[in-house]
């Protein structure tokens, strides 16, 4: 079981997620913090994970994506293949000819500068997963993020 799991979902859904996440995170060493927040005003669930070795992941599950099986599968993939998702996202940038660089912040977090925009690793993967790792997709993401 994750070291800490928090959600504001109905009790039966919360229990189901806890049980399934035990299979995903239960045997992994270190402290894990999983937070799932229901955002009914935008018909979405926001999931974030903080783990050992500065592991961070976040994803919004919109409308029909809000199903426990899909959430658990996404978390499993995120935990098992964190670098593969990031590498795929960066490869996609290179293929489209978008210039980028990376910086390591004092806190140890890696930030990518894409077309003069600073994005965290999880934001790059988020954009890649939605097919929005393009100049227009990044612009739209920044507008949405500021709202």
Q: Does domain 1-80 have CATH number 3.30.160.100?
A: yes
Domain boundaries, the chain: 1-80, 81-147
First to last CA, the chain: 35
pTM given for the model? 0.53
Q: Is the pLDDT of residue 140 over 60?
A: yes
State the Cα–Cα distance between residues 56 and 34, nearest whole angstrom. Answer: 10
- Helix (H) and strand (E) counts in the chain: 5, 7
pLDDT of residue 1: 43
* Beta strand segments in the chain, E: 4-7, 33-39, 44-51, 55-62, 100-104, 110-114, 117-120
pLDDT at 82: 58
pLDDT digits (tens, 9 = 90+) for 79-115: 876 566 677 788 888 888 888 888 888 777 788 888 7
């Amino acid at each position: 079981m994750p070291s800490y799991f928090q959600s504001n979902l109905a009790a039966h859904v919360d229990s189901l997620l806890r049980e399934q996440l035990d299979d995903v995170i239960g045997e992994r060493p270190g402290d894990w913090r999983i937070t799932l927040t229901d955002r009914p005003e935008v018909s979405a669930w926001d999931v974030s994970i903080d783990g050992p070795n500065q592991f961070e992941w976040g994803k919004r599950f919109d409308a029909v994506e809000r199903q426990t099986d899909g959430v658990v599968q996404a978390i499993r993939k995120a935990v098992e293949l964190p670098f593969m998702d990031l590498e795929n996202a960066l490869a996609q940038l290179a293929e489209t000819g978008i210039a980028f660089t990376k910086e390591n912040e004092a806190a140890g977090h890696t930030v990518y500068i894409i077309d003069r925009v600073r994005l965290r690793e999880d934001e790059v993967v988020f954009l890649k997963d939605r097919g929005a790792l393009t100049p227009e997709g990044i612009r739209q993401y920044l507008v949405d993020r500021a709202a």
